[in-house]
Structure 1
Amino acid sequence: MSDRSLDEFVAASAGSDGTDDGDDAHADPSVPTMRWSADGAACGVCGVVVSRRWRDGEAPRASGSRPSADATFVCADCKEW
């Protein structure tokens, strides 16, 4: 296999394939699915203190609005997998 210049790849991708419109204003922000705490935190259901908790559900929200931060974070035993 011979070495190729990076310029060859830049030139090949200079055109647009039409899949990225560049408008990220309507993209949903990322939301955590798991939280970790070195000191531990209480499960939102049973109250057991654990270091790792997972998102379980989400407060209802209007269509198109930002995800709610009111979701409950629970231990592995209380998580509905």
Structure 2
Amino acid sequence: MDRSLDEFVGGSAESAESGGETDDVDDTPEHATETGENGTDSKPSLTVNPAESTMDWTPGGAACGACESTVERRWRDDGRLVCIDCKNW
């Protein structure tokens, strides 16, 4: 069945051309938020933490965060980068 694109935008071509009223359509985007009295979003903002690597590879080597030995590969453990021997697996 052929259908007019006007059927999908909330009104018919005839009513749009004649200046008649169209169907009641909420044109608010789905992702829109309500605003408070001061014009700010009334919903709380989300806090996004930056991504952290789980492993680091340094060709020249870097110090382990626990034993201070110089190693090329270190893994994240309790917020610091440590060698394989100091990593709590």
Relative contact order (alpha carbons < 8 A, sep ≥ 6): 1 or 2 greater? 1
TM-score by length of 1: 0.49
TM-score by length of 2: 0.45
